Amino acid sequence: MIRPEFSNCLSRVIENPKATETDLIFLLDTINQKEQDLLFTEAARIRNQYCGARMILRGLVEFSSYCGNSCFYCGLNRTNSRAERYRLSPDQIVESARLVWNAGIKTIVLQSGEDGMEAQVIADVVYRIKAEHDMAITLSVGERPRKDYALWKDAGADRYLLRFESTNPELYASLHNGRTLETRLQCLDTLQELGYQTGSGFMVGTPGQTLEIIAQDIRFLAQKNYDMIGIGPFIPHPDTPLRNAPAGDIHLTLRAVALIRLTSRNAWLPATTAVGSLDRDYRVDALQAGANVLMPNFSPLDVKRKYGIYPGKRCVTETTADTDSMEDLARAAGLTLDYSRADTLK
């Protein structure tokens, strides 16, 4: 049964994307199956209206598992002596970009731990890839000084992904050893100022997170007008301090995806690898709840497993960017597969 208070609440958020915290909490929480279905249907409708009924592709290359940070949730944290560390050479990264390009995909996402790699090395890789292919380059290598972000932008980088993880300063501090929310948000502002298409987001279900905090995160995302927004469930890693914490709730995650779609409308929203790495693959569900990006993994086979931010990563068992399976995912969600660069819609 769809309750009138639910319909009214949903209509308010659809009419005015500057939704109130109270309305967002209501929609994250107290809704039944029929209401949740309607929330997802409306999010998919808004997605189709603002972005087109398509699923776009970004090729992901995880180029280093070295990390100088010790985020309590992440398997790559520097105190995890069981983590296998690797670093791809510039030639290997450029070769991975060729694979992405040859698959017809026109964006590459280069991600790593906070490796501390010399900025010029990354700039050279960006420059080499740009010289070879007319493809968009997204970097996701964590917090760096403004001069590094500027150097990479000058070398040709187009986009940057940096999740804020939580806009609540206390929760942020409890998840990150010796780091502050302030510096993370400062990095995001710098990236936007430098003209990067900027992506952010958070994990759902980190210990201590409340619905209020999720609602605040969703409002913050809309206010910052990010070009891309990635969220996924927290998945406990056995070799981290949070090993015994429960995983994030997938249904809450999907409702958050839908609400981000309603409030941030024309942002690109991936059906993330974490969403695909639970008891079953929920990526189609995420696409049906308003997501519209898939990030097939192009890291060399032996390193996919070593980039162990959480256990059970879907891509470890998957063949790289199997075109049929990407087509299947899109079709199952009623979307067409789109190979364009998909620059910002903002």
Residues that bind ligand SAH (CB under 6 A): 73-74, 111, 113-114, 140, 142, 162-163, 165, 203, 232, 234-235, 237, 274, 309-310
Shortest Å distance, C-beta 345 to ligand SAH: 23
In the bound state with ligand SAH, the residue whose beta carbon lies nearer, of 42 and 114, is 114
Which of 331, 308, 330 has its CA nearest to residue 84? 308
* Alpha carbon distance 233, 236 (integer Å): 10
Shortest Å distance, C-beta 99 to ligand SAH: 21
* Alpha carbon distance 33, 75 (integer Å): 34
* Alpha carbon distance 192, 202 (integer Å): 18
| Residue-wise burial string across 195-226, b where 16 or more C-beta atoms lie within 10 A, e elsewhere | ebbbbbbbbbbbbebebebbbbbbbbbbebeb
In the bound state with ligand SAH, the residue whose beta carbon lies nearer, of 203 and 303, is 203
Q: Are 267 and 46 in contact (CB under 8 A)?
A: no
In the bound state with ligand SAH, the residue whose beta carbon lies nearer, of 69 and 288, is 69
Instruction: List, in order, residues 6 or more apart from 340 with CB less than 8 Å away.
Output: 56, 106
In the bound state with ligand SAH, the residue whose beta carbon lies nearer, of 142 and 290, is 142
Q: Are 234 and 248 in contact (CB under 8 A)?
A: yes
Shortest Å distance, C-beta 108 to ligand SAH: 15
230's tokens: 């990635």
Q: What is the enclosing helix (H) or strand (E) of 118? A: none
In the bound state with ligand SAH, the residue whose beta carbon lies nearer, of 9 and 269, is 269
Point out which residues pair with 161 in neighbouring strands: 199
Instruction: List, in order, residues 6 or more apart from 125 with CB less than 8 Å away.
Output: 90, 93, 94, 110
Shortest Å distance, C-beta 113 to ligand SAH: 5
Shortest Å distance, C-beta 311 to ligand SAH: 8
In the bound state with ligand SAH, the residue whose beta carbon lies nearer, of 20 and 192, is 192
* Alpha carbon distance 22, 1 (integer Å): 22
CB atoms inside a 10 Å sphere around CB 279: 8
Q: Are 270 and 52 in contact (CB under 8 A)?
A: no
Shortest Å distance, C-beta 48 to ligand SAH: 27
CB atoms inside a 10 Å sphere around CB 310: 22
In the bound state with ligand SAH, the residue whose beta carbon lies nearer, of 96 and 111, is 111
In the bound state with ligand SAH, the residue whose beta carbon lies nearer, of 61 and 74, is 74
Which of 48, 52, 47, 49 has its CA nearest to residue 340? 52
In the bound state with ligand SAH, the residue whose beta carbon lies nearer, of 248 and 290, is 248
Shortest Å distance, C-beta 278 to ligand SAH: 10
Give CA separation, 183 vs 76, 170, 334, in Å.
21, 14, 40
339's tokens: 């190979």
Shortest Å distance, C-beta 242 to ligand SAH: 7
Shortest Å distance, C-beta 191 to ligand SAH: 11
